[in-house]
Amino acid sequence: MVVDMTIAEDISLLESQKEFIRRYRATESDGIKNVLPMLASSCPGWVCYAEKTHGSYILPYIATTKSPQQIMGSIIKNWIAHNLGDRPIYHITVMPCYDKKLEAAREDFLNKETQSRDVDCVITAIELEQMLEKDGISLDSLDNSTISQPWFVKGNNEISPFLTKHVGSGSGGYADYIFKYAAEELFGEDIENLEYKSLRNPDFREVLLQKEGKVLLRFAIANGFRNIQNLVQKLKRGKSQYHYVEVMACPSGCLNGGAQVRPGDGITIKELTTRLENLYESLPCTSPEENKVVKELYDSWLGGQESDKCNAILHTQYHAVEKAPNALNIKW
């Protein structure tokens, strides 16, 4: 089967929206510290860096919502395998970076009973291109084929057979969707389009919700390690005013992932990324709230929204990596 990951992306967005509201209310009503800003969790390049470099200080800020790749792993290895009569499934994802291999290999995503990983193998775009080249196949010469819809719920066939986009960024649109949901849920504001302002550089953009001169929500998108380092330093000095930051390790985000197909002769990486952004922009937009299959999966599989099963299956945890002692620093 070849399946599209929009369902997992939608669930990841819905869970992130709810997680943000929980964190916001915990801060505002209960005065709980170290839960805002909520930092995005879908980029393993960023998560591994945070675990290794900043450890226990920064980890509480990172959303516990799993990335779309790992939510897809849970859907395939739990729900779909079960509905296929508990058949073993080998699950491969196609991803834009090598870091997604590290994510799939995390202990947290290994079923200890069956010794089966939620994602067995990650192939990057560049590796896929190399495989096709090795076999002398050009993607342009192949016919389109149908994407499987193996969701085992009502409305299964109503899902779009075409590729769709999430608005806001080429990295999943987390800042956009969470901002609009929070504006409505917390302040009753219905916002259709967000206007981001570039700050230090185009890879650090900010968007505000203001009322009567007061900033109600301050969100940002921070792409690339230069911006991530600045953000972390501000957080450590207690100078970050953000409520949410969509953090992505690659400059320009996932459309410019480290293992995306390389540009051909005469085209720069910047030009290729712009082309990809325009192509992605031209896709029809999808709305997680209106995805009937997602709604049915919550009802049939997950025991409803905000259930214990949702927490167990759709959320994860992070682990600070102990720094190896430097031989020069050991006091004998």
Give contact residues for ligand SF4 (rule: CB under 6 A).
Answer: 43, 45, 96-97, 99-100, 171, 248-250, 253-254, 257
CA 88 to chain centre: 26
Backbone angles phi, psi at 28, to 5 degrees: -70, -50
Nearer to ligand SF4, 40 or 209 (CB): 40
Nearer to ligand SF4, 106 or 295 (CB): 106
> What is each CA distance from 90 to 11, 145, 299, 312, in whole angstroms?
22, 21, 26, 22
Q: How far apart are CA 142 and CA 24, in angstroms?
A: 49
DSSP per-residue codes, 56-87: HHHGGGB--BPPHHHHHHHIIIIIIHHHTTS-
- What tokens were used for 7? 């369902």
Nearer to ligand SF4, 254 or 314 (CB): 254
Residue with tokens 């030009």: 271
DSSP per-residue codes, 4-23: -THHHHHHHHHHHHHHHHHH
What do you get for the CA distance between the two ends of the chain, in Å?
Answer: 59
DSSP per-residue codes, 173-242: -HHHHHHHHHHHHHH---------EE-SSTTEEEEEEEETTEEEEEEEEEESHHHHHHHHHHHHTT----
Nearer to ligand SF4, 47 or 302 (CB): 47
Residue with tokens 């290999």: 105
Smallest gap from Cβ 75 to ligand SF4, in A, equals 19
Nearer to ligand SF4, 152 or 225 (CB): 225
Smallest gap from Cβ 225 to ligand SF4, in A, equals 10
Nearer to ligand SF4, 37 or 172 (CB): 172
- What tokens were used for 12? 């990841």
* Residue nearest to ligand SF4 according to CB distances in the complex: 257
Question: Going by DSSP bridges, is the β-strand pair 244-248/214-223 parallel, antiparallel, or unpaired?
Answer: parallel
Smallest gap from Cβ 123 to ligand SF4, in A, equals 14
Nearer to ligand SF4, 18 or 100 (CB): 100
Q: 130, 115, 120: which is closest to 93 by C-alpha?
A: 120
Nearer to ligand SF4, 151 or 170 (CB): 170
Nearer to ligand SF4, 149 or 316 (CB): 316
Smallest gap from Cβ 170 to ligand SF4, in A, equals 9
Q: How far apart are CA 296 and CA 214, in angstroms?
A: 40
Q: How far apart are CA 33 and CA 30, in angstroms?
A: 9
